[in-house]
Structure 1
Amino acid sequence: MFTGIIESVGEVKDLKKELNNLHITIACNFTNELKIDQSVAHNGVCLTVVNISGNQYTVTAIEETLIKTNLSDLKVSDSVNLERAMKLGDRLDGHIVQGHVDQTAICKNIQNEEGSWKYTFQYDSNLNNITIEKGSITVNGVSLTVVDSKKDMFSVAIIPYTYEHTNFKSFKIGTKVNLEFDVIGKYVTRLMRLN
């Protein structure tokens, strides 16, 4: 379980394909605190630490994860938003995030708002995921509030702190991002469709 509050931005150091899997090696400032078998969210994708060496650690993404997320697009030196699993008893500063990406979206617009940025993303609405204005959404693992909500598109406002401390600063028009829709909203949507 995660909160969507990014703890660090890591750098991809190595990518190794093995059959349908991708081994991703990351350097970050909290590697020395990790243990094998720990869960870490990478651009919002929960992956298990399988190896640690110096200030670098390795995780493995299976084929299903690579198909449903933007991890297959990673290149060496790319930045990745990182969050370790939350500790029981900590404050929940973001919202409840599972680390299970629902689908990807494409950045369609970036608007400088003179002190903040408004990012607009488009996603495939045929997968039955929805956003609501003022609802929660996770973009590349970042817990955000939806500003504008349409059938297949939404916007979020990014403050300078988030811009500087996540990989939002590297987004361009056309960047593919991971989305995890609000877990409560997903259950309500499913219940409504069953009735």
Structure 2
Amino acid sequence: MFTGIIQAVGHIASREARGGDARLVIDAGALDLADVALGDSIAVAGVCLTVVAIDGAHWTADISAETLARTTLGALRVGDGVNLEKALRLADRLGGHLVSGHVDGVGTVARIDDDGASQRWTFRLPRELARYVAVKGSICVDGTSLTVNEAGDDGFGVTLIPHTLAATTFGARRAGDTVNIEVDLVARYLERLHA
């Protein structure tokens, strides 16, 4: 589990195709790997990946064909920035919301508008996910816990404050970019209970 509070921005150091799968080596940037062990989970752009090797400030993850096809990780290139968060410990603060690291779908940045020092962002997402998005509810975009300002049949809007723009990959994003979307866990479970 994760919180959606990004701890560092890392970069893809290398990418190796392995049949239909891939192996990524990630430069952890400012993320402290001192307490990370083989088998631990780290969210990369909102996708929970397993650490299979650690070498100084770099760590390695294997990515299945399923994950490559259902997330933005399949399009990552060497040098691309990625939001990073180590898995939540039971004693940690929950500053964002509960995030599983299991991406529900890929969305698109539809529009970015200045709003004072902040920015208002509009995203498009698959229609089948829109029913899980509620105004003032939580949503996870590229691993970042955000509060929904607007919700529609095929998208939603959020406000990004200057800190979020500076501390995540959002500062480098543009309209048309694709993003990983994870809807709120509570919304998914509530639907299942009522089915």
Using structure 2 for the length normalisation, give the TM-score.
Answer: 0.95
Conserved 8 A contact 2:21-2:63: yes
Partner residue in 2 for 1:92: 94
For residues 11 and 46 of structure 2, the distance between their equivalents in structure 1, rounded to whole angstroms, comes to 15
The answer to whether the 8 Å contact 1:50/1:57 transfers is yes
CA drift of 1:61 comes to 1.0
The correspondence for 1:136, drawn from 120, 134, 138, is: 138
State the Cα distance separating 1:89 from its structure 2 match.
1.8
Residues matched between the structures, number: 193
User: Which residue of 2 is the match for residue 183 of structure 1?
Assistant: 185
Give the % identical residues. 39
Q: 1:100 to 1:9 in 2, by over 3 A?
A: same
In structure 2, C-alpha distance between the alignment counterparts of 1:31 and 1:25, rounded to whole Å: 14
Q: Which residue of 2 aligns with 1:2?
A: 2
Please say if residues 43 and 81 of structure 1, whose CA atoms lie closer than 8 Å, have aligned partners that are also in contact. yes
Give the superposed CA RMSD.
1.2
SS at match of 1:145: strand
**Map of 2:81 onto structure 1:** 79
Question: What is the rounded CA distance, in whole Å, between the counterparts of 2:164 and 2:21 in structure 1?
Answer: 31
Change (3 A) 1:136 1:127: closer
1:77-102 per-residue CA deviation (whole Å, 9 max, x = no partner) reads 11000000011122111001011000
Q: How does 1:1-195 map to 2 (within 5 A)?
A: 1-28=1-28, 29=30, 30-126=32-128, 129-192=131-194, 194=195
Contact 1:129/1:181 (<8 A) preserved: no
Secondary structure of 1:179 counterpart: strand
Give the 3 Å change call, closer, same or farther, for CA 128–145 of structure 1 in structure 2: closer
| Aligned-residue offset at 1:40 | 0.2
Q: Which runs of 5+ in 2 are unaligned?
A: none
CA distance in 2, matches of 1:23, 1:101: 19
Structure 1: give runs of 5+ residues left out of the alignment.
none
Q: Which runs of 4+ in 1 moved over 3 A?
A: 126-129
Q: Is this contact kept in 2: 1:32–1:55, CA < 8 A?
A: no
